[in-house]
Amino acid sequence: MQKYVLNTMDDPLVAARESTANMLQTRERTFSLPQPFYNDARLFAIDMQEVFEKEWLFAGMTCEIPTKGNFMTLDIGDNPVVIVRGGEGTIHAFHNVCRHRGSRLCVKDKGKVAKLVCPYHQWTYELDGRLLFAGSDMGTDFNLDQFGLKPVSICTAGGFIFINLSDNPPPMDDFLETLEHYLEPYQMDNVKVATESSIVEQANWKLVIENNRECYHCNGAHPELLNSLQEFDDTEDPRATPAYKELVARKQADWDQERVPYQLTRLGHQNRLTRTPLLDGIVSMTMDGKPGCKKLMGRLKSPDMGSLRILHLPNSWNHFMGDHAVVFRVLPLGPQQTVVTTKWLVHKDAVEGVDYDPEQLRRVWDATNDQDRQLAEENQRGINSKAYQPGPYSETYEFGVIDFVDWYANRVLENLGYEAPTLH
Ligand code: 3BY
Ligand code: FES
Ligand code: FE
């Protein structure tokens, strides 16, 4: 494809890429990042190009587009994307950009269509992206085959949909296999979204992820969440008490009976999966710790499944319990603005008002999301000050943040064409 670009002398990112790489190579590894990483417009453009346009991103769940013609849209920075279910159940992703004069094709968040029809001049595409109809006056030489929608790489596993905007996506097979294995008990073809929320946070996307990767702030911030959640999820964690280790041993014996995976699995720093017990006697992330949905997920017989936690960098964390699951998607909107979308999933046969009340179901994470939004926004405001300088992460409480920043720094360096240090 012919690329048209402005003279690179005029491209402000040429110099910014070099100084970004330089800051990443010389950064203090266990300290927060230098200020521009959190608030600079050029650095944001580099994050979009090197992370969000090159890495695999969590987009949504297959249950959101259950039948032929169902579609969902999302924006990766300036790149609108549409994900649609075609014939034979195949799921396709396309740049949501008409090949006529570039209008956005699908404008709604979600919907169902027979064909993809552009709202501008009604060019009409098949669900597999082929252009079927382009008005009547395009001339005799016009070849429909040359104007199909541009595909976006996509893969699915365990009900999750991932997309990748690059021409050369990195391999993901290990993660997809692992995800299938951990999600098998939940029979992800049998789930639906009970309720969802999107909140806009006035903070850089990395502050949103950093905040999620530690529970150092939980005691001071999250009374509702701490009704159910332990502040750590690993018996090797220095904070793990003998009582936690005993609880883990007891629950793991139960989980063996139910044949559900629980081992901690880390795939590089990008993906981490583990099942951890909730507080003793608590089975779900609800205000009272009781199931929020009477009908359990998948093939599960007991609601007491703890929480299966799934991390996928750069943009998702998730909690799967026995009765419901909560999935989270993070998308940058600007240098200091991020949208966090949360979806609560239940068994597809669960009946609203009988088996679950969506308002009850969402209470804990609505409160927690709002608290985390405030923390990230205050973090952003302090970082914008001329007084900000990178500060030390606690290796005991904030190792997850260190891991995230290491992953981020390495991906940016490598994607910019620099050598990156090996991660341990
Ligand atoms: O539960 C979570 O997803 C994160 C991890 C630690 C604190 N927190 C809100
Ligand atoms: Fe889509 Fe004209 S821009 S039909
Ligand atoms: Fe939090």
Residue 326 Cβ < 6 Å to ligand 1: no
Q: Where are the domains of the chain?
A: 13-53+387-412, 57-164, 187-384
Name which residue sits closest to atom 5 of ligand 1, judged by CA: 212
Which ligand number lies closest to the CA of residue 122? Answer: 2
Sign of CA dihedral 199, 231, 217, 23: negative
Which ligand number lies closest to the CA of residue 98? Answer: 2
Name which residue sits closest to atom 6 of ligand 1, judged by CA: 215
Residue 95's alpha-carbon distances to 3, 51, 166, 369, in angstroms, are 17, 18, 12, 30
Strand partners, 321: none
Residue 142 Cβ < 6 Å to ligand 2: no
Name which residue sits closest to atom 2 of ligand 2, judged by CA: 121
Name which residue sits closest to atom 2 of ligand 1, judged by CA: 212
The predicted model scores a pTM of 0.96
Write out the DSSP string of 369-416.
HHHHHHHHHHHHHHHTSTT----BPPTTT-HHHHHHHHHHHHHHHHHT
Q: Which atom of ligand 1 is nearest to the CA of 218?
A: 7
Strand partners, 151: 94
Å from CA of 89 to ligand 2 middle: 27
Name which residue sits closest to atom 4 of ligand 2, judged by CA: 121
Give me the tens of pLDDT residue by residue for the chain, a chain 424 residues long.
667 777 767 777 999 999 999 999 999 999 999 999 999 999 999 999 999 999 999 999 999 999 999 999 999 999 999 999 999 889 999 999 999 999 999 999 999 999 999 999 999 999 999 999 998 778 888 999 999 999 999 999 999 999 999 999 999 999 999 999 999 999 999 999 999 999 999 999 999 999 999 999 999 999 999 999 999 999 999 999 999 999 999 999 999 999 999 999 999 999 999 999 999 999 999 999 999 999 999 999 999 999 999 999 999 999 999 999 999 999 999 999 999 999 999 999 999 999 999 999 999 999 999 999 999 999 999 999 999 999 999 999 999 999 999 999 999 999 999 998 888 7
Which ligand number lies closest to the CA of residue 106? Answer: 2
Could you tell me which of 313, 346, 409 has the C-alpha nearest to residue 186? 346
Å from CA of 79 to ligand 2 middle: 17
Å from CA of 139 to ligand 3 middle: 58
Strand partners, 169: none
CATH assignment of 187-384? 3.90.380.10
Write out the DSSP string of 281-293.
T--SSSSSSS-SB
Q: Which atom of ligand 2 is nearest to the CA of 123?
A: 4
Is residue 405 within 8 Å of 422, Cβ to Cβ? no
Which homologous superfamily is 57-164 in?
Rieske [2Fe-2S] iron-sulphur domain (2.102.10.10)
Phi, psi values for residue 163, rounded to 5°:
-125, 160
Pocket test for ligand 2, best of 82, 118, 136, 150 (most atoms within 8 A of CB): 118
Q: Which atom of ligand 2 is nearest to the CA of 99?
A: 1
